[in-house]
Amino acid sequence: MDFAALKAEIIEESKKLGIDKIGFTTAEPFEYMLESLKEQHAKGHTVGFEHPVLDERIYPDRIFDNPQAILSIALAYPSKMTEKAERVRGERRGNFSRASWGTDYHVILRERMDRLIAFIQEKMPDARFKPMVDTGELIDTVVAQRARLGFIGRNGLLITREFGSYVYLGEIITDIPFPADEPGVFGCGECTRCVDFCPTGAILGNGQLNPNICLSYQTQTKGYMPEEYRQKIGHVIYGCDICQQVCPYNRGMDHHLHPEMEPEPASVTPVLQPMLTISNREFKEQFGHLAGSWRGKKPLQRNAVIALANYRDRTAIPELLRMIEQDPRPVLRGTAAWAIAEIVREPNPEMLAFFSERLIIETDEETKAEMEKAYLKMLEIQKTD
């Protein structure tokens, strides 16, 4: 079998399948990543979303019998909306980050890879494959850089010449010994814009970050968001795009190549107040197809409460009071209390009495602490007026 010729056929077929970039690398271990990953673990720069077995992230032969090559693919996604939601006076909207626009990218990439694998199997029926997207053992960006799709920038994202960093990545391990491409070469030069503009200092500038303080991670947690991050998320209820928006490689990048990636304005810029009372069925219908729905309803509702506070939306106060009184989830009760204290500028005696009563009734200690801070803040405002 002429594997170089087969590789050329696959590259041509990938274009027909809607794969924007494809590269090939060996299945040799990624041993140069070992010390870096150990250092990240030692510093606590992990959040639990990573694959837990370190060796399986480094050694392809630990997860695939006799691997010979890895195919890396990239699909470009849009960075601007062609249509925007209708603006209604008084309605406040939140935002999903660009990587969560359109149909969940895991679904799109798997479909493309399955079709590519089917094409290869027509040529080599006995060949074996292991496709992965995001949640697999290998590190997508590291594979993609070695397969010459691009280079890992200071912010840890893969940057391509054609599409910037607005790309989804996936890879396929196989036992076919394809010729390898040359690795991508670091191209950030002296630029540190992503480091300089990161609101929390999460980007370390060497291709690594501290994910614990990354706003994207903070929007995906299920407990209380630490107070120091609440104002910094602004009106974003999932993800963060800041390090991509300021990157020079992304200037002018906006590719609309895949209809299933086109954002629905009502879903990716949702009106915030209805999110506070959305049912499970309504949540699934409106957000279930988005990658940003994977953590469920509660984190997005918590973030919607924070966004309303950051808007200083006084019209949300009645609903926030209802949440404090009736919502069975402590995190939402406490976050609603914090939000009210952020919004109000002239607390009335009835509101202070309400908070005083809820403090007696509340049984969750962390929530009680949030309510007490909110109560004392409003009390202090009243004293100074």
Active site members: 134
Q: Compute, in degrees rounded to 10, the torsion defined by CA atoms 104, 110, 112, 117.
A: 180
Contact of 213 with 106, CB cutoff 8 Å: no
Spell out a b/e string for 337-353, using b for 16 or more CB atoms within 10 Å of the CB, else e. bbbbbbbbeebeeebee
Q: Residue 71: name the closest of 162, 6, 123 by CA.
A: 6
CB 292 within 8 A of CB 238: yes
CA dist list (Å): 178 to 9, 15, 28, 170, 262: 12, 18, 13, 17, 34
Output the DSSP codes for 117-164: HHHHHHH-TT--EEEE-SSSSS-HHHHHHHTTS-EE-TTS-EEBTTTB
Q: What is d(CA 353, CA 20) in angstroms, rounded to the nearest whole number?
A: 60
Distance CA 115, CA 127 (A): 15
What SS3 class is residue 263? Answer: coil
Give one DSSP letter per residue of 63-98, joined into a string: TSSS--EEEEEEEE--SS-SS-PPP-TT--B-EE-G
- In sequence order, the β-bridge partners of residue 74 are 21, 169
Contact present, 27 and 68 (Cβ < 8 Å): yes
**Residue pointed to by tokens 């006799």:** 66
